[in-house]
Amino acid sequence: MKSASEILTSHNKFHINLGLDRISAVMKLLGNPQNEYKVIHIAGTNGKGSTSKIINEILFESGFKVGLFTSPHLFSYTERLKVNNEEISQYVFDKLVNEIDLLAKKNNIELSEFELITAVAFYYFYIKKVDYLILEVGLGGLYDATNVVENSTSVITTIDYDHTERLGKTIEEIALQKAGIIKQNSNLAILKDNLGFKLIEKIAQEKNAKIIELPEVKVVFEDKNYAIIENEKFEFNLLGAHQAQNLALALGVVNSLGLNIEKDSIKNALKNVIWPFRLEYYENKNILIDAAHNPSGAITLRTFLDENFKDRKKNFIFGCLKNKDYEKMLDILIKDNDSLYFCEFDYPNALKYADISKRFEAVKINNINEIENIEGLKIFCGSIYMLGKVLKTYQYDK
């Protein structure tokens, strides 16, 4: 049996190939398991992972069996598939990847990496008999492999410019792709100040989808981090005022399910929400890690730094993919007296030092342990792929 990684990273699979024909055909061969449980489908430019994790914790704390499908991963493909917060075992993942890849090939279907992982996920959650699947879109929504589910509650987090080469160069074009996950006669959670809201609202009306009422939420970073929900304080782990948007969406979705979840369950769940590398602060090492990978994420990160670390020397340890708008990101992030360090990492289409040094003054880091000699706050950002590759061997205990 080949390893899942060997199959998934093979040359013929390791690419993006949007469209539903191939994944639909394979799911039909598997008996369409994706329609055997309740689905909460989440699209958006930023905030998908945090929103997914909050909903996951609330439902899990309330006694439901919950599947969680997210992407990309940090260290291992198995991180993407969890049931009640437990990753799929490597053996089961290898087995299912081999079986479904063979099934597809026998029927002359060539799945991409993401399509194959998605097919494995849908089948695995069926085997595990989950009550709910929290399903994060991979790219866009309309033609994303996850969009073969027939019925779902839809969530659209913040929309901004990203993947414009595939999703469109205007907010309206991008919003149209995100709105593609909305199902007929379903519920939709979206913030009314979201970019592209008017277009999405029109599509929701055409599909007779009800827009969910959201609670009033704030997130405040004081001596501890708190969420203030309808004027009541809740301990909450995710840092940043922007998390109020994700939390409002998550609570709105949970309320819409009609499950009568107790307040104590929500309190306990919010204490347990941990989402690695999203404004993750290690005070003892002067390290902040954030998966900001587009201009919108860079604005969020810079705003958080200006509000909470305005008197600290800031050192950005940066790396990303070539197709990202890294120049705009760095223009947002780097201010006077800030320092920029660059990490090259082993990944297809990764940005190289020769590219970034044409415009920005940056110090190249050849070994991650070199950061020990940097004084001030060390901020890792730029790409979740970079964070996974670079920090895999680095010890950063809180």
In a domain, 87, yes or no: yes
pLDDT at position 383, please? 86
In a domain, 260, yes or no: yes
pLDDT at position 369, please? 83
Shared domain check, 133 and 256: yes
Residue ending a domain, choose from 219, 254, 272: 272
Shared domain check, 267 and 352: no
Closest by CA position to 81, among listed 144, 124, 131: 124
Shared domain check, 308 and 237: no
Shared domain check, 303 and 170: no
In a domain, 47, yes or no: yes
Q: Residue 80 in contact with residue 144, Cβ under 8 Å?
A: no
Shared domain check, 329 and 246: no
Of all residues in the chain, what percent carry a pLDDT higher than 90? 71
pLDDT at position 289, please? 94
In a domain, 397, yes or no: no
- pLDDT tens for each residue of 59-85: 999 999 999 999 988 889 999 999 999
Q: How many CB atoms lie within 10 A of CB 361?
A: 9
Q: Indicate the pLDDT class of residue 373, thresholds 50, 70 and 90.
A: confident
> By residue range, what is the domain housing residue 186?
4-272
In a domain, 398, yes or no: no
Look up the CATH number of the domain holding residue 176: 3.40.1190.10
More confident site: 158 or 160 = 158
In a domain, 348, yes or no: yes
Closest by CA position to 56, among listed 42, 77, 44, 76: 42
Which residue pairs, CB below 8 angstroms and at least 24 apart, start in 89-97?
A: 90/4, 92/124, 93/4, 93/120, 94/1, 94/2, 94/3, 94/4, 95/1, 96/120, 96/123, 96/124, 97/4, 97/7, 97/8
Q: Residue 318 in contact with residue 340, Cβ under 8 Å?
A: yes
Look up the CATH number of the domain holding residue 330: 3.90.190.20
- pLDDT tens for each residue of 249-308: 999 999 999 998 999 999 999 999 988 888 988 888 899 999 888 898 999 999 999 988
pLDDT at position 389, please? 80
Which residues are CB-contacts of 296 (< 8 A; sequence separation ≥ 6)?
Answer: 45, 46, 158, 160, 161, 162
> What is the pLDDT averaged over residues 84-107?
98
Sheet of strand 363-365, all strands in order from the earlier edge strand to the far edge: 280-282, 287-289, 377-381, 314-318, 339-343, 363-365
Shared domain check, 246 and 300: no
What's the domain count of the chain?
2
To which H or E segment does residue 49 belong?
A: helix 48-61
pLDDT at position 341, please? 95
pLDDT at position 168, please? 80
Which residues are CB-contacts of 67 (< 8 A; sequence separation ≥ 6)?
Answer: 37, 81, 82, 83, 121, 124, 125, 128, 130, 132, 133, 134
Q: Residue 156 in contact with residue 189, Cβ under 8 Å?
A: yes
Q: Residue 360 in contact with residue 330, Cβ under 8 Å?
A: yes
Shared domain check, 134 and 118: yes
> What is the pLDDT averaged over residues 175-202?
95
In a domain, 158, yes or no: yes
Rounded to the nearest angstrom, the gap between the alpha carbon of residue 11 and the centroid of all alpha carbons in its chain is: 25
- pLDDT tens for each residue of 319-351: 998 888 899 999 999 998 999 999 988 888 889
pLDDT at position 313, please? 94
What are the phi and psi torsion angles at 271 (to 5°)?
-70, -25
- pLDDT above 70: residue 221: yes
Residue ending a domain, choose from 236, 251, 272: 272
Shared domain check, 348 and 252: no
The HSE-up count of residue 219 (CA atoms within 13 Å, CB side) is 17
CA distance 249 to 155: 7
Residue ending a domain, choose from 213, 237, 272: 272
Shared domain check, 262 and 300: no
Shared domain check, 333 and 244: no
Helices and strands in the chain, H and E counts: 14, 17
In a domain, 84, yes or no: yes
Shared domain check, 247 and 328: no
Shared domain check, 284 and 163: no
pLDDT at position 67, please? 98
